[in-house]
């Protein structure tokens, strides 16, 4: 018996690069009604909001929800220097070393969002890239649209609850 493996029968592992995702947060007033959004180019997206929040919380929530929703390695593009610099400059290491105090010895803002995000980032292959907001980047603009629509929806919900 002769067995021949043809090239079409041989399977090579195909390594897939990271999933690219764009994230953004928006707030109508700061604090005020806010929204967050994330989008994978030509792929899935997500958004949501809170009736009373800050822009920084929405920026963080957008990233956290994207990481929770998407499997595998990620390449996150954000117009938030707050988010990108935390990981690029490793601010989180100092926060943890100082017992969740910033360099001014004050409690780290938004710790309730930073802690789970840092934990997820450390457990996975996730890279962060800064992108200039409102500069014509199609996918950053789409993440912004999702976030602002979610913020506007929260504004309507808040107005309805007043009556």
The catalytic residue among 42, 99, 134, 136 is 134
Question: Does a structural domain hold residue 131?
Answer: yes
- Tell me if 9 is assigned to some domain: no
> What is the C-alpha R_g of the chain?
20
Q: Which pLDDT score, from 0 to 100, does residue 15 have? A: 59
Is residue 24 flagged as an active site residue?
Answer: yes
Q: Determine, yes or no, domain membership for 55.
A: yes
Domain count, the chain: 1
How confident is the model over 6-16, as a mean pLDDT?
Answer: 48
Q: In the prediction, which pLDDT does 16 show? A: 77
Contact 55, 83 (CB under 8 A): no
Residue 48 belongs to a domain:
yes
Q: Residues 131-147: what's their mean pLDDT?
A: 95
Determine the structural domain holding residue 61 and report its residue range.
19-161
Lowest mean pLDDT among 64-68, 132-136, 148-152: 132-136
The pLDDT > 70 percentage for the chain reads 85
11 is catalytic: no
Active-site pick, 24, 50, 65, 155: 24
Q: Band the pLDDT of 157: cuts 50, 70, 90.
A: low
Give me the mean pLDDT over the 72-98 stretch: 96
The pLDDT > 90 percentage for the chain reads 80
Active-site annotation holds for 134: yes
Catalytic residue, candidates 25, 34, 35, 46: 25
Q: Is residue 3 part of a domain?
A: no
Q: The whole model's pTM is what?
A: 0.85
**Which is catalytic among the residues 12, 59, 149, 158?**
59
25: annotated active-site residue: yes
Reply yes or no on whether the pLDDT at 5 is more than 80: no
User: Could you tell me if residue 6 is inside a domain?
Assistant: no
Give a three-class secondary structure readout of 117-146: HHHHHHHCCEEEEECCCCCCCHHHHHHHHH
Q: Which of 34, 46, 48, 144 is catalytic?
A: 144
Specify if 5 maps to a domain: no
- Flag whether 8 is in a domain: no
β-pair partners for 37: 24, 47
Distance between CA atoms of residues 153 and 31, nearest Å? 16
**Average pLDDT rounded to a whole number, residues 77-90:** 96
Position 2 pLDDT exceeds 60: no
* Range 134-151 average pLDDT: 95
**Choosing from 32, 37, 49, 79, which is the catalytic residue?**
79
Q: Is 159 a catalytic residue?
A: no
Give catalytic status of residue 144 as yes or no.
Answer: yes
For residue 148, the domain's CATH number is 3.30.420.10
- What pLDDT does residue 155 have? 57
């Amino acid at each position: 018996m002769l067995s021949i493996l043809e090239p079409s029968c041989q399977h090579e592992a195909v390594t897939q690069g990271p999933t690219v995702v764009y994230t953004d947060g928006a707030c109508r007033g700061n604090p005020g009604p806010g929204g967050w959004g994330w989008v994978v180019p030509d792929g899935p997206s997500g958004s949501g909001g809170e009736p009373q929040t800050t822009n920084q919380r929405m920026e963080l929530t957008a990233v956290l929800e994207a990481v929770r929703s998407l499997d595998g390695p990620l390449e996150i593009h954000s117009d938030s220097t707050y988010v990108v610099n935390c990981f690029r400059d490793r601010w989180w290491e100092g926060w943890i070393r100082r017992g969740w105090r910033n360099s001014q010895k004050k409690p780290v803002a938004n710790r309730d969002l930073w802690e789970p995000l840092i934990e997820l980032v450390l457990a996975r292959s996730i890279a962060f890239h800064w992108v200039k907001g409102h500069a014509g980047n199609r996918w950053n603009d789409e993440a912004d649209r999702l976030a602002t629509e979610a913020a506007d929806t929260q504004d309507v919900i808040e107005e309805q609850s007043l009556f």
